[in-house]
Amino acid sequence: MRRGSSLIRGYSLSRGRSVAGRVTQWLMVSGIRAFGRALLFGIFLAACASAPGGTGVVAPTAGAPTLVDTVIQSGLSVPWDIAFAPDGRMFMTERMGSIVMFESTKPNAKRIGVLKVPDVHSMGEAGLMGIVVDPGFATNGFLYVCASRTDGGEWRNQILRYKAGADSFTFDSYVIRTGPMAAPIHDGCRLSFGPDGKLWATMGENGNGRLAQDPSSLNGKILRMNPDGTVPADNPILPGAATRTYAYSMGHRNPQGLAFQPDTGAAFEIEHGATTNDEINVLAPGKNYGWPEQEGTGGKAKGFTDPVWASGDVTYATSGAAFVTGAQWGAWSGSLFIATLKEKDLRRFAVTGTTVVPKEVLFDQKYGRLRSVVQGPDGALYVTTSNGSGDQIIRIAPQ
């Protein structure tokens, strides 16, 4: 399995050049025997650099891009999610409750706007989480966040719409004010716009598996809504439910990844398993994905929809996910990347239709816990860390 990053690969290359420089020098002064020694030394260095196990360098697979990772922001506190304006600005949520606007994605780009979202109660896994910009952002300036807030004497997961100015944010409206509840664990709260123009949100079961199977609760569900907060007329009515609601699918534990497959528009949802079976699910309306009655595959006979991939006997603590497309990704275009918290790495999955095959484990341990991964407008991936302090945003660019 391929490990390590291209930065390490780049280091190896520059080292190779310096060896070559020394080879030339030694040839001039010491003749052919020294050249032989230098050649052996070079081979030795290359062998060391190729050793497996975390920091090694392995030749890229055919057609795979070389990745260059660059820290673009640092000194952050749990930057939960990021989003991009078409004009190059970058927006970030920090779990403690701030939305931050950066001038660009350049390293150490200036902070040009900050808003403290009022009444965010950040505790455990809860707080200010997902952020996404409206598909019509260039004209309407709308962006959406998912936040655990105290409101009406309750602790709720809400979806709020803001309007971004040049260097400020103005509250516009609640998209969802009541329904999903917050808890110190399993809040979900990933936001994504589908190719259908609907706003989708993942909602965790608050550590209460029963809610995932309760069709009247919006927890443990994937939600689908019109951006103005109304329920789409083509949402399903969940089995056992009285009415059509925001709920699109049920039986989810702690979903923190939601990405739409570029070719098909299919919704891929990623959730943490308990002690086994992190899952990748392909969402279909009104379906039940099993939690807590069924973990991983094997639930069909009980009426549950099986994941297209499950981690089996281990968990990685899978979090955010993104598909990549573009010529710069070479053979990896169309792949799904998943950030992991516990495993502290970025994982590539090859996806054909609904067939998902795990591939490389990248940047293992290098940046710590990884929360979110988003493809930026320049085609690069942007990853946030979730270590609690000294957190970073990293740009991963294919070359």
- Residues lying near Ca ion in the complex (CB under 5 A) are found at 289-290, 343, 345, 364
Listed in sequence order, the residues at least 6 apart from 6 whose beta carbon sits closer than 8 Å to its beta carbon are 66, 67, 68, 69, 399
Q: How many helices (H) and strands (E) does the chain have?
A: 3, 24
Q: How far is the CB of 296 from Ca ion (least distance, A)?
A: 7
Calculate the CA dihedral of residues 92, 96, 97, 103 and round it to 10 degrees: -30
Give the shortest CB-252-to-Ca ion separation in angstroms: 7
CA distance 258 to 237: 21
The strand pairing partners of 61, in sequence order, are: none
Cα dist. 18→14, 23, 45, 215, 236 in Å?
6, 9, 11, 65, 63
Comparing CA positions, the residue from 17, 21, 165, 174 lying closest to residue 91 is: 165
Buried/exposed 345-383: b ≥16 CB within 10 Å, e otherwise: bbbbbebeeeebeebbbbbbebbbbbbbbbbbeeebbbb
Nearest to Ca ion of 92, 373 (CB atom): 373
Give the residue at shortest CB distance from Ca ion: 343
Interatomic CA distance for residues 309 and 355, integer angstroms: 8
Instruction: Report residue 268 CA to chain centroid gap.
Output: 12
Q: Please state the closest distance from residue 14 (CB atom) to Ca ion, in A.
A: 26
| CA–CA separation, 103 and 83 (whole Å) | 13
d(CA 387, CA 394): 14
Give the residue with the Cβ less far from Ca ion, 214 or 364: 364
- Minimum Å gap between C-beta 68 and Ca ion is 21
Minimum CB separation of residue 24 from Ca ion in Å reads 40
289 vs 337 by CB, closer to Ca ion: 289
DSSP letter string over 196-246? Answer: TS-EEEEE--TT-HHHHT-TT-STTEEEEE-TTSPPPTTPPPPTT-SS--S
For residues 256 and 372, give the distance between their C-alpha atoms in angstroms, rounded to a whole number.
9
CB environment 197-225: b (16+ within 10 A), e (fewer): ebbbbbbbbbbbbebbbbbebbbbbbbbb
Q: Do residues 156 and 180 touch, judged by C-beta distance below 8 A?
A: yes
Shortest distance in whole angstroms from residue 275 CB to Ca ion: 14
- Taking the least distance from each CB to Ca ion, the nearer of 156 and 369 is 369
Nearest approach, Cβ of residue 327 and Ca ion (Å): 29
The least CB distance from residue 121 to Ca ion, in Å, is 29
Closer residue to Ca ion, CB minimum distance, 148 or 254: 254
Measured CA to CA, the distance from residue 86 to residue 181 in angstroms comes to: 33
Neighbours of 114 (CB within 10 A): 14
Please report the sign of the dihedral spanned by the C-alpha atoms of residue 225, residue 230, residue 235, residue 241: positive
CB of 399 to Ca ion, least distance (A): 24
From the CB of 347, what's the least distance to Ca ion, in Å?
9
